[in-house]
Chains A and B, each alone.
Chain A
């Protein structure tokens, strides 16, 4: 399980910062565009959960492939 490249930061780890965009409130604090009657404020934040899962999944798979483990 232990490898030499353990703990090394790779460029793809920057993807892990993507979820934190959900803390940038001014971007989504608006009603339009609505989606099926749901204000942007709500559907954007819900949609960002999907972005989070994708970002984490990609990093997880890349780590597995390269053997680097953060």
Chain B
């Protein structure tokens, strides 16, 4: 049984979507800069103040997939899904301490990407290339998952308009959303998602407020909501004999995700686009407020259980098509009047457009600076550089779309999981590189290779279904997020080989930066 087509919800959705489309194109004129310069198109001219950066980083990090997949995790697996909260807590001290240094050195040297910095710091094209390629590869499936978020929303609206493109069935609304996104990213660059992020956040906060007030009243209070969750899922299992069980998995998932987050190209773009080092610091202080919204959104998974949605025939088709990812849309449809459903679903869809735009811009910056300019056309003009980036952003997004249409959804999810394991392997070069040049570039490259290989191997032994690999330490079974254990191995190799290579090498290595550049 299909949900009935709700004209009011669709109308509200369409109006809000139209509004952000106009904003997206209008953004090109906002704080006008020469969009033929890469740092103007791809970093918004490094002009965003505290407030805009706050919205941009929020829009960047809390994505549509988060809004959909996180409650889905609580809905399906219970307490384990709540790891997102300690994850979102651990991020901010890290941003506060480490990343103002990246902002400063990038500002002084005109770096647009993390790979630019690595190139300057270690004087190694190869190491910079590993950082760039890891970033691009890890981002692609992330973009694809944003499109999954849009797909789920469109299905919840009851829109079934598909067209046939070269023998493949494509949902027309998804295609329209994609074309709009691609067009305004192309013309406006980073200014577009920055402006739209403000609208997105207002809608999200409005929705969250409505959810935490209206739905618990309907369901008889929070006590009742938690009481309807199976007791075995409500907290993590007690420590098993001879191991740490789910508890170490929970903690390492939070830690590893936090360490990985600011290595993603779209996060770096968010940081570098701010107008000052102080802006980064102030945002590190204020950003945890988003984590409150995130925790409340996660609890929607339990609200969906308490409302008994999984057995209702009205939502059977949605659950069949999207699995637990349908829990949030079903809850919204079940609990809210039509107009509010339109607002909430628009919030999620717009929440997909913002990060998808930033991610494609960030990947385009990496490709242009660290592949095209470095290896293909070193003498390209500023205008050429900017044009290549615009085209690259289109290709990256089209890649995401092809991924969603051409392959089963599970591929994108597996790749996203691997992406987290891979991106964290750039931590020694990028984050430790901000503090020391003792590490040898060849050692860092080999460490990166070791981490990627070990992490991928660990995930493969789990048939790519999970990322928690059980380590055996002194007779103790310790389930650990593979990104964290692979990173430990990476660091070990990088440190040991650096000691060796530094002994063997004569004289100081090239370093374009000085100690004063970082503060």
Residues of A participating in the B interface, judged by any CB pair closer than 8 Å: 1-2, 6-7, 13, 16-17, 19-20, 22-26, 29-31, 34, 36-39, 41-42, 45-46, 48-49, 52-53, 55-57, 59-60, 63, 69-70
User: Which residue on chain B has the smallest CB distance to residue A16?
Assistant: B93
Contact B82 A41 (CB under 8 A): yes
A sample of 9 cross-chain residue pairs with beta-carbon separation below 8 angstroms, ordered by A number, consists of: A16-B97, A19-B92, A24-B251, A25-B251, A26-B247, A30-B235, A38-B226, A49-B89, A56-B285
Chain A residues with CB under 8 A of B222: 36-38
Which residues of chain A have C-beta atoms less than 8 A from B239's C-beta?
26
Are the C-beta atoms of B236 and A7 separated by less than 8 Å? no
* Cα–Cα distance between A22 and B82 once the two chains are bound (Å): 12
Measured CB to CB, the closest approach of chain B to A35, in angstroms, equals 9
Per-residue CB contact flags for chain B residues 222-265 toward chain A (1 = under 8 Å, else 0) read 11111100000011101100000001101100110000000000
B277: which A residues are within 8 A, CB to CB? 1, 69
Contacts A39-B235, A49-B292 given: A7-B281 contact, CB under 8 Å? Answer: no
Given A19-B92, A22-B86, A56-B284, 7 new contacts (CB under 8 A)? A16-B93, A22-B90, A26-B247, A29-B235, A38-B222, A42-B82, A49-B291
Query: Nearest chain-A residue to B296 (Cβ)?
Result: A46
Contact of B406 with A by CB under 8 A: no
Give complex CA distance A69, B292 in Å. 28
> Once the chains bind, are B96 and A59 in contact (CB under 8 Å)?
yes
CA distance A53 to B286 in the complex (A): 7
CA A46 to CA B247, docked complex, whole Å: 18
Number of A-B contacts (CB under 8 A): 115
Say whether B221 faces chain A, with CB atoms less than 8 Å apart. Answer: yes
- Asked whether, in the complex, the Cβ of B281 is within 8 Å of the Cβ of A60, the reply is yes
Residues of A contacting B516 in the complex (Cβ-Cβ under 8 angstroms): 2
Question: What residue in chain A is nearest B235 (Cβ atoms)?
Answer: A41
Please judge, given known A-B contacts A2-B519, A19-B89, A56-B96, whether A25 and B289 are in contact too, CB under 8 Å.
no
Is there an interface contact between B85 and A57, defined as CB atoms closer than 8 Å?
A: no
Bound: A42/B219 CA distance, A: 18
Contact (Cβ within 8 A) A29 B288: no
Residues of A within 8 A of B248 (CB): 25
Query: Are A52 and B92 within 8 A (Cβ)?
Result: yes
Chain B residues lying within 8 Å of A39, measured Cβ to Cβ, are 226, 234-235
* A residues in contact with B86, CB < 8 Å: 22-23, 45, 48
Query: Which listed residue, B79, B282, B291, B519, touches A41 by the CB 8 Å rule?
Result: B79
A70–B90 alpha-carbon span in the complex (Å): 18
Q: Which 4 A-B pairs have the closest CB atoms?
A: A37-B223, A6-B519, A22-B86, A25-B247
Known contacts: A23-B254, A26-B239, A53-B285. The answer to whether A7 contacts B519 by CB under 8 A is yes
Residues of chain B at the chain A interface (Cβ within 8 Å): 79, 82, 85-86, 88-90, 92-93, 96-97, 100, 221-227, 234-236, 238-239, 247-248, 250-251, 254-255, 277, 281-282, 284-286, 288-289, 291-292, 295, 299, 516, 518-519
Q: Is A17's CB under 8 angstroms from B93's CB? A: yes
* Contact in complex: A23, B90 (CB < 8 Å): yes
Give the distance in Å from the alpha carbon of A69 to the alpha carbon of B284 in the complex. 14
Query: A23, B251: Cβ atoms under 8 Å?
Result: yes
Give bound CA distance, A46 to B292, whole Å: 7
Please determine whether A41 and B234 come into contact, CB atoms closer than 8 angstroms. yes
Q: Is the CB of A45 within 8 A of B85?
A: yes
Q: Are B519 and A69 in contact (CB under 8 A)?
A: yes
Closest to A40 in B: B235
A52 to chain B, nearest CB (A): 5
Assembly CA distance A29 to B263 (angstroms): 30
Whether the Cβ atoms of A37 and B224 lie closer than 8 Å is yes
Whole-angstrom CA separation of A29 from B88 in the bound complex: 18
Which residues of the partner chain B approach A19 to less than 8 Å between Cβ atoms? Answer: 89-90, 92-93
CB-defined contacts of B225 to chain A, threshold 8 Å: 37
Chain A residues contacting B284 (CB-CB under 8 Å) are 56
B95 CB, nearest partner CB in chain A, Å: 9
Select from chain A the residue with minimum beta-carbon distance to B237: A29
Q: Are B221 and A37 in contact (CB under 8 A)?
A: yes
Which among B79, B224, B235, B248 has the highest number of chain A CB atoms within 10 Å? B235
Q: Distance (Å) between the CB of A64 and the closest chain B CB?
A: 9
A10 to B239, CA, bound (A): 37
Kindly provide the distance from the CB of B267 to the nearest chain A CB, expressed in whole angstroms.
Answer: 18
A31 to B78, CA, bound (A): 14
Bound CA–CA A55/B90 (angstroms):
12
